[in-house]
Amino acid sequence: MRRFRWLILLLLIASIGAFGYYSRHYYQNLDTLGPSITIEEENIEVSVNDTEKDLLAGITAYDAKDGDVTASLGIESMSEFTEGTTRNVNVVAFDTDGHVAKATRQITYTDYKPAVFSLDAPFRFPRSMGVVDILSRVHATDCLDGDVSMQINFAQNSTINVDTVGNYPTELEVTNSAGDTHVLPVNITVYDSTVENAAPKITLTDYLVYTRTGWVLSPLDYIEKMVYKGTEYLPTTDRGTFRVDTEGWSSYALKEFRKEDPAVSYDWFEVEDNVDYNTPGTYEIHYYIEDADENRGTTTLMVIVEDRVRSE
């Protein structure tokens, strides 16, 4: 029995010794440090079209155990603009033990431009006792985020009574991932549909255009078609009159039609163009046309005058 106890004691001592040796060896070889990140240039200039690879150019990562771990580098997050078009890029690197290192670089965009708005139709709506989706016809494209139409909102304190005929000046705004908010002043018109349904209809090729200072637009060039007395007319190539599109008509139909061959002259249009093409800002061009029964149709083209064209 005594020998058995001594054997148990010796085995216990051996186990404790082996465990101590293993623990010492384990902790001596344990990697408790993450990679180190080296940034050649703390602030670089980039394009809005540059990729993650471009933003990480000149950044390397090294780990004492794994060696070069530059391939593990990635962008964790990007801040909003801190000043002008400068923002912080937070980068991370990993080693095989799962340790994470972080660093920050500043980037400055050289070609950043605010969001561009577009309209499917003018901000004119028939009086309604229900809900009117005003924002469904306006879109915005951002040079960083692409389509940001879903981020468009009314500015605070906007009040529009869709059940009351009138004109409601307000502002729309959209904010991108860099925290830049672009504001679009607009006029929301609520009209009586019983009056306008009988009036001529004017359709434009665009309802919001951008131009640069000093570049004067030709408003009549934006008329795509019109409906006058229930008949649709298209502009002619000489831009002097609107005529009915007879393409595809039968010879009989053409023969009967040409007995009258109705046309609408550009002279029938009244264009109210109050755009100051020398001063940046948001303006409106109003189009009017009245038929023989004094039914007056109207539409609006928004014009944004800037110091430079967005496509440049």
Dihedral Cα 272, 274, 275, 279, nearest 10 deg: 180
Residues 190 and 221 grouped into a single domain: yes
Residues 67 and 185 grouped into a single domain: no
Output the pLDDT for position 238.
67
Rounded Cα distance, 55 and 48, in Å: 10
Mind listing the pLDDT tens digit for each residue in 90-113?
Answer: 999 999 888 999 999 999 999 999
> Number of folded domains in the chain?
2
Amino acid type, 309: V
The verdict on residue 13 lying in a domain is no
Output the pLDDT for position 27.
47
The verdict on residue 16 lying in a domain is no
Tokens of 12: 């216990």
The verdict on residue 311 lying in a domain is no
Q: Of 109, 137, 169, which marks where a domain is finished?
A: 109
How would residue 12 be classed by pLDDT, with cut points 50, 70 and 90? low
Residues 138 and 94 grouped into a single domain: no
Residues 208 and 279 grouped into a single domain: yes
Q: Of 109, 133, 157, which marks where a domain is finished?
A: 109
CATH number at residue 187: 2.60.40.10
How would residue 233 be classed by pLDDT, with cut points 50, 70 and 90? confident
pLDDT at 309 over 80: no
Residues 153 and 214 grouped into a single domain: yes
Tell me which residue of 268, 299, 59, 93 sits closest to 196, measured CA to CA: 299
Residues 120 and 68 grouped into a single domain: no
Rounded Cα distance, 303 and 309, in Å: 12
pLDDT at 208 over 80: yes
Residues 58 and 151 grouped into a single domain: no
Output the pLDDT for position 194.
84
Q: Of 79, 94, 109, which marks where a domain is finished?
A: 109
The mean of the pLDDT values for the chain is 85
In Å, how far are 91, 108, 148, 179, 180 from 79, measured between CA atoms? Answer: 12, 12, 18, 8, 11
The verdict on residue 281 lying in a domain is yes
Output the pLDDT for position 17.
58
105, 88 contact by CB (below 8 A): yes
Rounded Cα distance, 229 and 214, in Å: 38
299, 199 contact by CB (below 8 A): no
Output the pLDDT for position 256.
58
pTM: 0.79
pLDDT at 193 over 90: no
The verdict on residue 24 lying in a domain is no
Tell me which residue of 105, 102, 106 sits closest to 61, measured CA to CA: 102
The verdict on residue 6 lying in a domain is no
CA–centroid distance for 54 within its chain? 23
Residues 276 and 259 grouped into a single domain: yes
Backbone angles phi, psi at 33, to 5 degrees: -110, 145
The verdict on residue 14 lying in a domain is no
Residues 243 and 98 grouped into a single domain: no
* CA Rg value for the chain: 34
Amino acid type, 253: A
Residues 195 and 302 grouped into a single domain: yes
Torsion-angle region of residue 67: left (phi > 0), alpha (psi -120 to 50) or beta? left
Residues 136 and 76 grouped into a single domain: no
Domain extent, residue 154, equals 116-306
Check residues 4 and 89 and name the one with the higher pLDDT: 89
